[in-house]
Chain A
Amino acid sequence: MISFSEATWNITLFSLGVALASTLTIFPFGIALSWFLARKRSRFNSFLETVALLPLVIPPVATGLILLKIFGRRSPLGGWLYERGVEILFNWKGVLVAMAVMSFPLLVRSARTSFAEVNPRLEQIAATLGASPLRIFFTVTIPLAWKGIVAGGLLAFSRALGEFGATIMVAGNIAGRTQTLSLAIFDFVQLGKDAEALGLMVITVILAFAGVGISEALVRPKGVA
């Protein structure tokens, strides 16, 4: 009933690898933006926040279309990259871009909340004790917010693994090149190959369960079972 082939494992490894790369890529930006949103009050805040969270609410296919337009050869950015020999569409870079954009909001939401929960008074006191803003960030803010940040990273990673709509637009659905777990499941289901689909689904569910489960455990308030 369930089928695990060599292709299954290759697809799994590829998905894990790109999802990991995507999560690591968005990490510094996500942390910086979350911190900015939690700590700085500017009139760009709500605009920035909306843009960052947009992929969460608009259809993934629409996000994929936008990314296709941005990174396609005919756009200024895509053209510029193309002339330098960098092609995003139809290879792992496209998968990474789609995963990164789609999972970014989850990282930002979680990290922003945990930054906001750090009492700014502690950072202020650290400043009166002679600590530079950078030292405060790394010795006070991050250690106090790390759970939410890691939880957000795991959530983003799980979301990246599950990403479908934007990926298929930007990276295509090319077996052995851009096919992720989600794309492969879709393919197998469409083709009526339920045994193969089931194998991939079992893997996906286990990975998602672990990712989301650990993430939830990290941010769960103490004392609540």
Chain B
Amino acid sequence: MRKNSVAVLLVFLTLGLSLPVKAEEILVSAAASLTDVLNEIGKVYQSKTKNQATFNFGASSDLARQIDEGAPADIFFSADLAQLDNLDKKGRIETTTRKNLLSNQLVIVLPVDSKLALRSPRDLLQPEMKRIALAEPSTVPVGVYTKKYLESEGLWDGIKEKIVPVLNVRATLASVESGNVEAGFVYKTDAAISRKVRIAYEVPIAKGPKITYPVAVVKESKKKGAAREFLNFLATPEAKGLFEKYGFVVLR
């Protein structure tokens, strides 16, 4: 009994002593599409600063809700401007720290072994393009953006009969990989997930929808200093290089 107490005490002492020495750890709630790039940036950040960034990846809407209920995140990195705006209105984030950091690009993917040629979205009207996979165009952001884009190009009415609405980006990629559909719309960064699809067409940034990834420090964060420091790091050329490596467009 006494022995155990001593052991417990020792553990506490060790922890207690190591705390001031140990660098600060911040928690970043980030959109799932940022998983790979942020994991890599996190490693670089830790090796450079001894501070640690831990990530909570999920759907931007869920992350926003968690922060709204007081979940202990220090930074919110959203894939959707509306979610951050919403939190800002409720006073849940430090407005002055807001930055629109990244953008993404819509692309059309085909199975890697597809013999079909696609030089412009207009080619989707060809009869050989029987089915086109798209994340649910009424609710999922990428679906909503795609629909808007196709409408602006005057193509939506022509191909809407061919649209197979699916759950999300991953499901879009899976449909294309398997050849169940002839083509699909995803973000450029998502296309990198699969080696069994190829990017056939990139929607020019100027013509495509404005896709923005904003980031900000959470108002209730207890580690605002460390959080700001991490935000600054995201703007360094080193981080910028990594974002671009993963296919993101870095704004400004």
Name the one of A72, A82, A169, A191 contacting B35, with C-beta atoms under 8 angstroms. A191
Name the one of A65, A78, A168 contacting B70, with C-beta atoms under 8 angstroms. A78
Q: CA of A178 to CA of B32 in the docked complex: distance in angstroms?
A: 16
Question: Contacts of B71 on A, CB cut-off 8 Å?
Answer: 68, 72-73, 89-90, 172
Question: Contacts of B123 on A, CB cut-off 8 Å?
Answer: none
* A187–B35 touching, CB < 8 Å: yes
Question: Contacts of B69 on A, CB cut-off 8 Å?
Answer: 68-69, 72-75, 78, 89
* B55–A169 touching, CB < 8 Å: no
A192 adjacent to chain B (CB < 8 Å): yes
B79 adjacent to chain A (CB < 8 Å): no
Q: A72-B70, A89-B66, A187-B35 are in contact. Are A176 and B170 (CB under 8 A)?
A: no
* B56–A173 touching, CB < 8 Å: yes
List 15 contacting pairs A-B, 8 Å CB cutoff, sorted by A. A68-B71, A73-B70, A74-B70, A75-B69, A89-B71, A169-B62, A172-B29, A172-B58, A172-B73, A175-B39, A175-B55, A187-B32, A189-B170, A192-B193, A192-B194
Q: CA of A141 to CA of B227 in the docked complex: distance in angstroms?
A: 57
* B35–A87 touching, CB < 8 Å: no
- In the assembled complex, how far is the CB of residue A7 from the closest CB belonging to chain B, in whole angstroms? 12
What are the 9 closest A-B residue pairs judged by CB atoms, nearest first?
A73-B70, A72-B69, A192-B193, A172-B56, A89-B71, A72-B70, A174-B56, A68-B69, A74-B70
- Size of interface on A: residues with Cβ below 8 Å to B: 26
Query: Nearest CB to that of B58 among chain A residues?
Result: A173
B97 adjacent to chain A (CB < 8 Å): no
* A191–B193 touching, CB < 8 Å: yes
* B70–A173 touching, CB < 8 Å: no
B54 adjacent to chain A (CB < 8 Å): yes
Q: A190-B170, A192-B173 are in contact. Are A177 and B70 (CB under 8 A)?
A: no
- In the assembled complex, how far is the CB of residue B105 from the closest CB belonging to chain A, in whole angstroms? 18
Over the window 8-34 of chain B, the binary record of Cβ atoms lying under 8 Å from chain A Cβ atoms (1 yes, 0 no) is: 000000000000000000010100100
